[in-house]
Amino acid sequence: MSVVLRNAQRAVPVRRAPLRRAVCALRAALGAARFDVGLVCAGNGLMRRLNSAYRQRPEPTDVLSFPFHRVVAGELPRPRCRDEYNLGDIFLGVEYIHQQCCDTGEDFDSVLAVTAAHGLCHLLGYQHNTKLEWQQMYQKEAEILEELNRLTGTSLRPLTVGLF
């Protein structure tokens, strides 16, 4: 199905086509290619408001995911009709991510793809609140990034390296 990408900020230029291709490949690696995904590139203001409203943390962040379905990690949703073929929405804090990349020297486009992989995993029920959940999510992120790396010749690694 489709990946709908909206750039809702003007602070940082975003190369949409490579990001959309990466998300399509990651979605396929998760076995969810038939599901729609919304991807919003957001600035610090919007990310701060969303993070405050939904996580009670009034600061910008790199990614927020809003799943359409409640699923157990590792399971795909079971839609009952065409309108339910939707994984949900991912908000990428591109201004926040860009600043981090400037501080660390990491490649912005690569970090966007890795952050999108993290967001996709959240849409499919993966969490990282405990060490066991983190291990499960890290393994899934590594697995789907390995497929993206194979397709693109990159060497991307999960966001959650060293969380626990």
Mean pLDDT for the stretch of residues 15-40: 96
Instruction: Calculate what percentage of the chain has a pLDDT beyond 90.
Output: 95
Average pLDDT, the chain: 95
pLDDT per residue over 139-161, tens digit each? 999 999 999 999 999 999 997 66
Asked whether residue 164 carries a pLDDT value surpassing 70, the answer given is: no
Mean pLDDT for the stretch of residues 92-121: 97
Q: What is the pLDDT of residue 11?
A: 95
Q: Which CATH number fits domain 3-152: 3.40.390.30, 2.40.50.140, 3.40.50.300, 3.40.50.720?
A: 3.40.390.30
Q: What is the pLDDT of residue 74?
A: 87
Mean pLDDT for the stretch of residues 76-96: 97
What's the pTM? Answer: 0.95
In Å, what is the CA distance from 3 to each residue of 21, 93, 120, 130? 9, 17, 12, 30
Query: Which among 93, 99, 90 has a CA at the least distance from the CA of 118?
Result: 90
